[in-house]
Structure 1
Amino acid sequence: MSIQAQRARYVPVEQGFNIVRPSIEPQAFEQQKACAFATDAATGIVPLDLSSSLGTDYPATTPFMLARYVSVRAGAHLTCTFAASGEIWAVLRGKGRVEREGETVGWRDGEILLLPGGVASRWVAEEDAVLWMVSDEPALAFLGVRPQAAHHAAIETTLYRHDDITRELQSLYHRPMAPDIAGRALFMASTRTERLGTCLPALTLTLNAVRPGEAQRPHRHNAAALVLALREAGCASTIGGRTFPWTQHSTLLTPAGAAHDHRNALQPTSDTRDDDIALALIVQDGGLHYYGRTMGFSFT
C-alpha cells in the first residue's frame, strides 16, 4: 500500500456529524490589561490567549481572532511580524511611529491603524505607549495558510486619525435612533474593503456609543465579538446572563451566539457631555459570516 493510501481515514457518521467543540465563556481580560498598563511594564506583548480552553496549539482569543495588548516604552522599539491577513491597531496611550517596508506612519493616542499582515513592523515610541491589536491569525493557522504578499494583501496601510474620528463621533452621538437599529455604531472600512462594509475581509470594526439612559437592545449573532471599552461613563454589558461593568481599556469577550446588551445607567440631561457617552471599539469575525450568509442576527 502506498504512503498516500495509508494516510486515508474513514470516519463513521456518529463521529463526524454534529461535532462538538469546547464552549467559550464570556469574560473580561482585566489581568492582561493591568500587565500592559503597569508603571513598570517592559516593552512587549501581552496576548489574550484562550488556546488552552479552545483546544488549539496556537494562540487564540476566539476561534478566528487573537487580541493583544502591546507596550512600548519611550525611546524603545518593538519589532514583530504576524501571520495574519491584516492587523487592527488601536493606540490607547502615547505616541510614536511604525516603520514597515520603507513606509513610516506616525500615530498618537486615540488613533487606529490597519496594516497588511505578514510584514515586519518596527514600533517606535516617543512616549510610553500602550496599543491594542486584533488579527485573524487563528483563522489562518487553522487553515494552514500564510498571508498574501503585501502587494496582493486584502488591505493597504490605513490610518484613522484622531481628529477625523472625533468629527465622525460627533455625528454618531447625535444621530436619531430608530427602534429597529441594533445600536449607535460607526463601521470602519478602507479603500479595498469599502464595498464589503468591513475592516478586513474576515473582521468588522465598529465604534459603538451608548448615550446616558440608552441601551443597545438585547440581541445575538453568530459572530464572536471583542469589546474594548474606551470610555466607561455608566455602561455595563450583560453577556450570556453575566454582567460586566465597563472599565477603561478593558476587553470583554462576547462568544458567538451569546445574547448580550450594553446599557448606560447615567441619567440623560439636556446638556449631555461627551464624557457621559460610553464608547467602545468592537471587533467581530463578522466579515466571515456576512460573506457566508450566516450572521444570524436577531433581537432577543
Structure 2
Amino acid sequence: MTQTPDRPSADLRLSVQAEANQNSPVADKALLFDYRQAANPIRRGLTEPIPYRSWGPELHGSGPSGIIPLDLSAELGTTGPATSPGLAAHFIRIEAGEGVRAAASATSSLFFVLSGTGVCHGREAEQDTSIHWSEGDLFVLPSGGTPLLEASSTSVLYWVHDAPLLSYLGVVPSQPRFEATHYRAEWLRSELLKLAQQPGSASSNRISLLLANRDLPSTRTVTHVLWAMYGIVPDGATQTPHRHQSVALDLIIDCQPGVYTLVGTDLNADGTIRNPERIDWKAGGAFITPPGYWHSHVNGSGQPAYLLPIQDAGLQTYLRSLDIRFA
C-alpha cells in the first residue's frame, strides 16, 4: 500500500529491538514511534480524554458516616481513585458525634463545608492543630499526618487532594509547602458581596475571589498545587466563554433551578460555544470541566448562584502553562 508522507498508517511503530541489541536487557523495552502518530496520544484506548461528568447532592443527602469518592479511575486509567489525572474529589458525610479520618498521600488537601459544624484535628510541624468548622468554611491542609474530622452536628464536606498526581510521579510527600489555613464563611461571603457591589462588577465576566496563601506569593493560589475560586453568578448572567489548561472540579455551593454551564471544544463566529454540552446545576452537586474546553455559566433562576471551582492551576501556574483565554 502506498503511504503519503503526511498520512502514516495507524499506530505506526518502529521497535529498536533490532538484531544488534536483541540480547541486551537494557534495550528490551525501548521503542520508537513516528512523531506524526505519537505526538498527541490523547485519544480513546490510549491516553483517555477527561470525560464530562456530574454528581448530584443525593450522594451525600443521607446514609452513614463515610467518604464518597467521585472516582473516574476506570475511565482515566489511573491506578487509584481519581476525578482528574492529578486530583481526587470526594464528599464526606459525618453523622453528629462521629468522626472520619481523611487519609491521603497528598501534598495538598482542601475541604469546603457544605453543611454542619465540627472540628478537624491534625498534626503539623510536630504540633497538634485544630480547625473548628461551620457551614461555608474552607480550609486547606499540607502533607503530614492523617486528619480526624469530628462532627458536632451532621456535616457534609467536599474534599479535594492531589494524591493521584503523586501516584503518577511515583513519589511521596517529604515536607509541607504551606501551613494549615482556614477561610471562614463570614469573611468569604462578605468580601464577595463587596466585590459584587463595586461599580463595573455587573458587566464583569467573573465576579469571584481567588483564595490565596501568604506562603505562596508567586502563584497567588490556595496551595502550591490547588487553585480555588469562590464566585457568584448573578441572576440573568450569561458569562462570556473562557478556557484554561487546568481541570476544574466544580462544587455548586448554592443555586435554584435554571442555572447551568455550557461546555464545548469550539466557538462559533459570534463567540458562543458550538454544539455545547449543557450541565444543569443542583445545589450540593459537583461536575468536571475538562482542560482546554470553552465554558460559560448561565443563570436564569431568579436568584444568585454560588460556585467553587477547584483546579490544579497552582501547578499549572508554576509551570507557566495555565493559558487562560476569553472568547
Q: Into which bin does the TM-score normalised by the smaller protein fall? A: 0.7 to 0.9
Q: Which residue of 1 aligns with 2:298?
A: 263
Q: Which residue of 1 aligns with 2:112?
A: 90
Partners of 1:92 and 1:129 within 8 A in 2: yes
- 1:194 Cα deviation after fit: 3.5
Distance across 2 between alignment mates of 1:179 and 1:112: 26
Q: In the alignment, residue 22 of structure 1 is paired with which amino acid?
A: E
Q: In the alignment, residue 190 of structure 2 is paired with which amino acid?
A: R
Q: Report sequence identity in percent.
A: 28
Superposed CA offset, 1:189-231 (max 9, x none): 1121233111111221001111112222111211111111112
- 1:154 Cα deviation after fit: 1.5
Q: Which residue of 2 aligns with 1:5?
A: 26
Change (3 A) 1:296 1:43: same
Partners of 2:195 and 2:201 within 8 A in 1: no
SS at match of 2:31: coil
- 1:80 Cα deviation after fit: 2.8
Q: Which has the larger radius of gyration?
A: 2
- Which of 155, 173, 192 aligns to 1:147? It is 173
SS at match of 2:32: coil
- 1:182 Cα deviation after fit: 3.8
Partners of 1:85 and 1:117 within 8 A in 2: yes
Q: Does 1:208 align with 2:231?
A: yes
Q: Which residue of 1 aligns with 2:284?
A: 249
Matches within 5 A, 1:1-300: 5=26, 9-14=30-35, 16-20=38-42, 21-30=47-56, 33-38=57-62, 41-101=63-123, 102-149=128-175, 153-177=176-200, 182-233=205-256, 234-240=258-264, 241-266=276-301, 276-300=303-327
Superposed CA offset, 1:83-124 (max 9, x none): 111100001111110111211111111100111134211111
Q: In the alignment, residue 78 of structure 2 is paired with which amino acid?
A: T
Distance across 2 between alignment mates of 1:88 and 1:9: 40
Partners of 1:65 and 1:137 within 8 A in 2: yes
Could you tell me the TM-score, scaled by structure 1's length? Answer: 0.88
Superposed CA offset, 1:138-197 (max 9, x none): 111110111133xxx122111111221122122122134479954111000112123311
Q: In the alignment, residue 193 of structure 2 is paired with which amino acid?
A: Q
Q: What's the C-alpha RMSD, in Å, of the aligned pairs?
A: 2.2
Change (3 A) 1:180 1:35: closer
Could you tell me the TM-score, scaled by structure 2's length? Answer: 0.81
Q: In the alignment, residue 74 of structure 1 is paired with which amino acid?
A: A
Partners of 1:81 and 1:117 within 8 A in 2: no
Distance across 2 between alignment mates of 1:177 and 1:204: 25
- 1:256 Cα deviation after fit: 0.6
Change (3 A) 1:172 1:179: closer
Q: In the alignment, residue 145 of structure 2 is paired with which amino acid?
A: V
Q: In the alignment, residue 295 of structure 2 is paired with which amino acid?
A: H
Distance across 2 between alignment mates of 1:4 and 1:98: 51
Alignment gaps of 5+ in structure 1 = 268-275
Change (3 A) 1:189 1:2: farther
Partners of 2:239 and 2:298 within 8 A in 1: yes
Distance across 1 between alignment mates of 2:200 and 2:213: 25
User: Which stretch of structure 1 is more off in the superposition, 174-183 or 199-208?
Assistant: 174-183
Distance across 2 between alignment mates of 1:235 and 1:60: 27
Partners of 2:238 and 2:299 within 8 A in 1: yes
Partners of 1:82 and 1:118 within 8 A in 2: no
Change (3 A) 1:2 1:155: farther
